[in-house]
Amino acid sequence: MKYYTNDCVGCGLPCLGAACEYNKVEHFKCDYCKEEDIKLYEYEGYEICEECLLKEFNVVEGSGW
């Protein structure tokens, strides 16, 4: 899921409020494992990380050539 947080860095300057680049910082969190990630995939109505996405599929391996 995408969410926004105030990531104030305590720079010591007067607060700029909504104009500050750290006021509404975009973050992404996996709907399955709840870990923060920079890239999520849409799968069956959820936004999930690559690791959780791969757990949804079975691996098919050949016998080689």
**Under 8 Å between Cβ of 23 and 4:** no
Residues 6+ apart with CB under 8 A from 3: 26, 27, 28, 29
Which stretches of the chain score pLDDT less than 50?
A: none
pTM: 0.70
Q: What pLDDT was estimated at residue 63?
A: 81
Does any domain span residue 61? no
Q: What pLDDT was estimated at residue 46?
A: 96
Does any domain span residue 21? yes
Q: What pLDDT was estimated at residue 22?
A: 93
Does any domain span residue 36? yes
Does any domain span residue 31? yes
**Under 8 Å between Cβ of 40 and 30:** yes
Q: Number of structural domains, the chain? A: 1
Does any domain span residue 65? no
Q: What pLDDT was estimated at residue 64?
A: 74
User: 13 is in which domain, residue-wise?
Assistant: 2-55
